[in-house]
Chains A and B, each alone.
Chain A
Amino acid sequence: MKEFFEYTASLIKGLGVTLKYLCRPAVTLQYPKQRWTPPERYRGRVALRPKKCISCQMCARACPNNCLEVKFNVGDDKKRKLTEFVYHIDTCLFCGLCAEPCPTSAIFMNHDYELAVCDRKDLIVDLVKVDSYVE
């Protein structure tokens, strides 16, 4: 008999829980219409501020998957000048290790998470040419 009352009480408790959730707002986002705001330190795609880059290649060395290629010319004043910054999004694991050692904060992770493309080739981009300067 004691069990019976315990079970009945737990049934009512369960109904209470679902009623509480019924009254709460839903967590679903209607995706294409509503967008999610990523948190401040969210790691999306790698982006570059080309003017700041000094072609030191610290980022390329730090990358565990070797998905960054920094190509540059050495000018007459022996300064390196960035010509190409190839980024393989398909092998990138979005760890952010490239952005950490950058001495000039030229490379950073932006908030872009919609990375689907129709062709695999589109996943290999030149960050100097591409308008990747999306904060």
Chain B
Amino acid sequence: MTSAWYRLAEVSNNIIDQCVAQGVPFAREYGGLLANRSFGGAQVSRTFYAKGQTGQQLLLGAYSSLNRMIHAGKVKSYNRYEMHDVVIIDGSYNRYEMHDVVIIDGRARGIIAKNLVTGKLERFAAHAVVIATGGYGNTYFLSTNAMGCNCSAAMACYRHGAYFANPAYVQIHPTCIPVHGDKQSKLTLMSESLRNDGRIWVPKSIEDAKKLQAGQIKGSDIPEEERDYYLERRYPAFGNLVPRDVASRAAKERCDKGFGVNNTGKAVFLDFSEAINRLGIDVIRQRYGNLFDMYEEITDVNPGELANEINGVKYYNPMMIYPAIHYTMGGIWVDYELQTSIKGLFAIGECNFSDHGANRLGASALMQGLADGYFVLPYTIQNYLSDQITVPHFTTDTKEFDEAEKRVQANLDHMMAIHGKRSVDSIHKELGNVMWDYVGMARTKESLETALKKLKELRKEFETNLFIPGTQEGMNIELDKAFRLRDFITMGELIAYDALNRHESCGGHFREEHQTEEGEAKRDDENFFYVACWKYNGDDETAPTLIKEPLHYEAIKVQTRNYKS
């Protein structure tokens, strides 16, 4: 798999050209060439951007191209449909193959999807199936993922035998707006670009922290010399631009020691005073104005507002931030062709595991998603389809489709019939709490074993005490959420199994037993130099089987990251 990285690096330059050709308005220098800026994990300015909404603009670019293909009649789009199962058909069925080789293993030949508006299941047959269904961050209930993000398609593939790789590698983003209370539904990401000009700090003295927590003083009341810019202190080479996992753990470390700056004690400051004093508010507003407005709408605090002056130094309202689940590096295992361990089934983008290893650096999720879709899969899938050229279009009128639909329907019927007392969200929140508390930023053997025990209980609660109002006819948002939650519980266990197995700290996975004296992650390359692939064992209750894919590096020497010097 090492060469998948090489390929990504090769094609990623084309991404910008591709997007510019689509009409994505990337920022330009006065000379007319593309502008760059720095980003978390990088020491040089090398990221292309479109204001503070690059991802959104890339998405809109892709969407416009997709619309062009829909208009041309080459793509049919089914809005408000959700994949509920993948249909595997045994190769021997494929009697149309020219060569007389009997293929024993099954191939992905279609999906069962639910039309969410009518509530009806529908069948789709195909020569190959590609899932591009995103990550599993919402297993934690609170995350920066959109509310509809779910891992059900990936779980359907997993239950059919597709390996799930490195589920424990979950990325926690350092710059999110802190949780305000138990009614919170979602965490808002403040763009990482803020760390270019924002400085992260907590008070040096615990007394000041306590006063902040009690609401007796504000951040702007604390003068420069009383502030602990802990990232600059601990990582002088990268400062506020250390990678996300390092920044997140450092924030947790300060807050766990009692230096948190809001009423819950789970927040740190992100301060623009120095940048505003140096560059002026106009420049800063030009860079981050939309983010400042968004922050003010949510928290009622304007980060660009002059709040205090101490000894001639002007202090502006700082933002408060705290880490939150953001991205999942693990995913369905794929080979160099992006094909899963099931023939004819491909996984691209965040839902596969292939490009980010144990940690992901800023801007590279967009890079991978676009590279997979624009430049990799269109070529690799041809290698699979080339020997399918004589296979005529499938009918959905086969026993495999019958069985798959029956299975999905039985699951829906079962959930409707439980008639317990608890709403989907209440169980999902409980799942999120278990995951955050025991399988979150810092994990131990004990915490993971506790998590597995609690998740078993939670599945039982789901199976016996769930309540879904309404019927299966038409749109039923609770039924759709329940379908996803069932898979989130299985996903949660999968994360915990993997985290328990990996007795080392590596990237987004931090085991407290494995850290240096300075609290940095400590790898164990001797024993864990592999991709952990998990194979489903027939039912959700049974632990999956571990299959190790060893890592081989040829051109580079494996090292430990150093952000200090």
Q: Do A and B bind each other?
A: no
